[in-house]
Amino acid sequence: MIAAVAETIETGDAERLRALAGDLHEADLGDLIQALEPDLRPGLVELLGSAFHFAALTEVDESVRLQILEGLPTQTIVDGLRELDSDDAVYILEDLEDEDRKKILDRLPLPDRAALVRALDFPEEAIGRLMQTDFVAVPPFWTVGRAIDYLTELGEDGPETFYEIFVIDPVFRLEGTVSLDKLLRSSRTAQLKTVLNDEVRSFEALEDREDVARQFQRYNLVSAPVVDPENRLVGVVTIDDIVDVIQQEADEDLKALGGVFGDEELSDTVRETARSRFPWLAINLCTAFITATIIGLFSDTIERMVALAALMPIVASMGGNAGTQTMTVTVRALTHRELGRRRIRWIISREMLVALVNGVALSIILGGVAAAWYRNPELGVVIGTALIINMVVAGLFGALIPITVHRLKFDPAVASGVFLTTATDTVGFFAFLGIAAWWFGLW
């Protein structure tokens, strides 16, 4: 398929290309674009002409999208954007350089341009960026029958898809919503004001998209009105965009916990990837020097009892693992807003208790093995004690660090890992070497 399409683009056979790719769903077309050699991509768009649905550009990585847009004449982009719902057009425009974006916007008809400029003025995290400005709004005194007939007359006009209509007063203030199934199930003679749902979950355009996504999820919403501070209807957000937000948030948390920035994409170059990952590694290097300093304090101890050098990473790594477990659970609870003030105190003590229970169990195993291995029961006691201490500290910090980062209004997934391993390494080496030095009199 990809090879056939590539060949068709090279030979410029528009008809064959339309036969091959003209009927693809935008998601599949996006995949096809992504799989093509970069220099063939703009050719595909131009050759497909009006059969190319620009929504496919919302399905490819940012770097691929920018590369295609750079390779296309402005007029082609303008024509493509006019076919799109406003939220998709915004998505395509938002990553462009200001200058390129202005060139495109200037050629759009005024009403389209005004809607897009307004949407682009919202901050990137605001729900206003994701809203559609095309919707169906009707007055409360209309009957169900009249609303149905109005929709029949609407035909192909209006939004591409919708799941509810909005009931507004003369100055566009939202009075309620009527879902399409509710509309269809109501008597034709009933007035809309008697069938509308007036307990509407509406959002202001500046609200954070994550918060809105959580509400969609919580209340099983499929679409929701966006209003201005005077409760005037300005747009609608739909579940398809919200699903993307949910997925994106989850991806960002996953990546952040793994020490990768959220905007790293698979199609980034080696240079971009290396550069974006370097800061985390550099920070980790700095904290590793702290660990090295701690160990350095005990060089005499290690010199006299070199077994300690072999055993010390065990204590540190077990603490790191236990702490990561706690941190993972805590970060997840924080991002899902599952932690009230009362529960925070409770989760910290629970995590420390869990760490204590597992610490005792594992320290018996570790202490036993170490004692047998080095034929030194006292060494077993020392390493077992150090393990319990480090695991309880790991439980404490594993919960405390993300909670503190969250209180300081940062994303708890981003920086917690670095702080945590610094804590568990430092405490792990210090506890083990310190107790050993004191116990064996090697200080």
Subset of 51-90 contacting a second copy (CB under 8 A): none
Q: Name which of 24 and 116 has its Cβ closer to a second copy.
A: 24
Within positions 364 to 423, which residues make up the interface with a second copy, using CB under 8 A?
A: 365-366, 369, 421
Which SS3 state, helix, strand or coil, does residue 302 take? Answer: helix
Instruction: Give min distance, CB of 164 to a second copy, in A.
Output: 10
Dihedral sign for Cα 115, 121, 127, 130, please.
positive
Q: What does the CA dihedral 5, 11, 15, 18 come to, rounded to 10 degrees? A: 20
Q: Which two tokens stand for residue 363?
A: 């320290």
Instruction: Give min distance, CB of 167 to a second copy, in A.
Output: 16
> Count of residues for the chain?
443
Stretch that binds a second copy, among 9-17, 45-53, 67-75, 327-335 (CB under 8 A): 327-335
Residue 361 within binding range of a second copy, rule CB under 8 A: yes
CA distance 301 to 228: 68
Within positions 274 to 303, which residues make up the interface with a second copy, using CB under 8 A?
A: 274, 277-278, 280-282, 284-285, 288-289, 291-293, 295-296, 299, 302-303
Instruction: Give min distance, CB of 35 to a second copy, in A.
Output: 8
Provide the residue type at 148 as one letter: I
Residue 198 within binding range of a second copy, rule CB under 8 A: no
Instruction: Give min distance, CB of 192 to a second copy, in A.
Output: 14
CA distance 74 to 105: 10
Q: Which two tokens stand for residue 174?
A: 């939202």
Provide DSSP, 420-440. Answer: HHHHHHHHHHHHHHHHHHHHT
Within positions 120 to 159, which residues make up the interface with a second copy, using CB under 8 A?
A: 148, 151-152, 154-156, 158
Out of 38, 357, 377, 439, name the contact with a second copy by CB under 8 A.
357
Residues 67/267, Cβ–Cβ less than 8 Å = no
CA-closest candidate to residue 169, choices 200, 201, 149, 192 = 192
Within positions 165 to 194, which residues make up the interface with a second copy, using CB under 8 A?
A: 179-181, 183-188
Q: Name which of 108 and 326 has its Cβ closer to a second copy.
A: 326
Residue 430 within binding range of a second copy, rule CB under 8 A: no
Out of 50, 161, 194, 197, name the contact with a second copy by CB under 8 A.
161
